[in-house]
Amino acid sequence: MKVPLIFSVHLLLLAGLSFAAAGQTPSGAAKSILSGAADRRSLKLVVYNNDLALVNEKRLLRAARGSFELRFQDVGRQIIPASLVLETGGRLTVLEQHYAYNLLTKDRLLESYLGRPVTLERLDPRTNTRERVSGTLLSLAGGTVIRFEDHVEIDPQGTFILPEVPAEFVIQPALTWLVKASASGDCPLEVSYLTRGLSWSCDYVLTLEGGGDKARLAGWVTVNNSSGTDYDGAELSLVAGELNLVQTPPAPGRPEMTMKSFAPQLAARAMGDQMTPEQGFEYYRYHLGRVTSLPNNELKQVELFQPAGLAPRKTYRFEGAGNLYYGPLPSPPGPRQVSVLLEWENGAKNAPGVPLPAGVIRIYERSGDDAPWFLGEDRIGHTPLEEKISIRAGSAFDLLAVEKQIDYRKLSDRLRQVSVEIELTNRKTVEATVEVDEPLPGDWKITENSLPFERLQADRIRFRPKVPAGGKTRVSFTVQVL
């Protein structure tokens, strides 16, 4: 049966495991069974883009008939408690479960000694020897305050010497249940839960060849494990899509996990492995067809697909400023450069011909036997099949544009008439076609235009002038804006 649980997470100090070795809980009320990674029979990870993963694992443990405490170890430190689902195959009945998370840290350990005696070891400047002095820890708010026998010190120098670690602290997370076995023997367990601290991202490498009309696209995914535990021998799937998640405050006492808390290492690439996309619900899942290991505090790269050929189109585009329609403006300070974009359809004619997860595309060019050189990078969103991909590499060095307001008139309290000119300069040795996109506010009407235009959407038009080699072209229009 499947039981959604609110569970208990305990950190078990090695020094305090004598009761477990004896088969008793601390209170001696019931036998205790520990289950760790060695009991795993299978492990599956489904990792999402937004710092979330679904962990599913099956374990086999041997239990005697009757009640006992089950401690399920080797789980992540950032479990979402309410997401837990336990399936026992009818062999076990869950009698009790609760959630307690008190991870051992320096600050929490000191807080547990507030109002209690502590010992401070420090250097005596008079004798240049180390001494131990005892006092009472009064406060940690805004600094350390200790009352010694005849005085009080604020932020004293030295090292705390404490007699013990209180039993309520834990150093390794474990799920804890009080269960009852209907018979002695092997008990299969299947546990599923959501956890933070696992995420993935996608990176692409686009290498231009043959003057830029041909290219090869390679894709890699990077999986980041900062969940607090190792996942060895896992079946790995990655989900691309935007999940709706309810925003809830973090559980009290949950440790803050940031990139500063560890030094990630980039694992070696596993050449030849690819991830197969599979559609499910309204998302795509990319499955790695082998087991892999994800050590804690490590980044691992896996090939999404092998380098595939495609034929990108190079496009030059100038984006109007959009601020010319609200009042008279002075002449612009100088020319602006024109963006260069690479575009193609993500379909059967352009490999890899699979849905592409969101990620960063880095662009390189290789000419002959020369080493490739970096051209720029851009980010794409989740891109289904047969959708256009458009990435901005940078700005064209030899293409310049000057946009200026030629005339501004108020025809009435609400109606304005604006004349605009865009001068394009081409310093190349070949002709260039530049897409000129102009944003227009409110209700508008073009009354004069030097070139035909395309209405892209309600507030945007596009001209496509050809600019001769070493020459200039002007695009002008007059618009009435309400």
Q: What is the residue-wise DSSP string for 107-172? A: HHHHHTTTTSEEEEEEEETTTTEEEEEEEEEEE-TTS-EEE-SS-EEES--SEEE-S---TT-BSS
> Greatest CA separation found in the chain?
93
Write down the domain spans for the chain.
2-103+169-195, 106-161, 317-336+395-481
The three-state DSSP-derived secondary structure of 376-387 is EEEEECCECCCE
- Give the pLDDT score at 286: 86
Per-residue pLDDT of the chain (482 residues; tens, 9 = 90+): 444 433 333 333 333 333 333 344 444 445 788 888 899 999 999 999 889 999 999 999 888 889 998 888 888 788 888 888 888 888 888 888 765 567 788 898 999 999 999 999 999 888 889 999 999 999 999 999 999 999 999 999 999 999 998 877 777 777 888 899 988 999 899 999 999 999 999 999 999 987 778 899 999 999 999 988 899 999 999 998 878 877 765 544 444 333 333 333 333 333 345 676 777 777 888 888 889 999 999 999 988 888 888 889 999 999 998 899 999 998 887 899 999 999 999 987 777 878 899 999 999 998 777 788 999 999 999 999 889 999 999 999 999 999 999 999 999 999 999 999 999 999 999 999 999 999 999 999 999 999 999 999 999 999 999 999 999 999 999 999 99
Beta strands in 273-386 (DSSP E): 275-280, 283-294, 298-310, 313-319, 336-346, 359-365, 373-380
- Residue among 363, 65, 89, 93 at smallest CA distance from 207: 363
What is the domain class of 106-161 according to CATH? mainly beta
Contact present, 175 and 71 (Cβ < 8 Å) = yes
Helix (H, G, I), strand (E, B) or coil at 326: coil
Total Cβ atoms within 10 A of residue 175 = 23
Q: Are strands 66-73 and 31-35 parallel, antiparallel or unpaired?
A: parallel
The backbone torsions φ and ψ at residue 423, rounded to the nearest 5 degrees and listed phi first, read -105, 125
State the Cα–Cα distance between residues 359 and 401, nearest whole angstrom.
31
Beta strands in 427-482 (DSSP E): 432-439, 444-449, 453-457, 460-463, 466-467, 472-481
Q: Find out whether the peptide bond into 352 is cis, omega within 30 degrees of 0.
A: yes
Category of 91 on φ-ψ map: left (φ > 0), alpha (ψ -120 to 50) or beta = alpha
Contact present, 30 and 68 (Cβ < 8 Å) = yes
Give the DSSP letter of residue 82: G
Q: Count of residues for the chain?
A: 482
Could you tell me the pTM of the whole model?
0.72
State the Cα–Cα distance between residues 337 and 318, nearest whole angstrom.
8
What is the domain class of 317-336+395-481 according to CATH? mainly beta
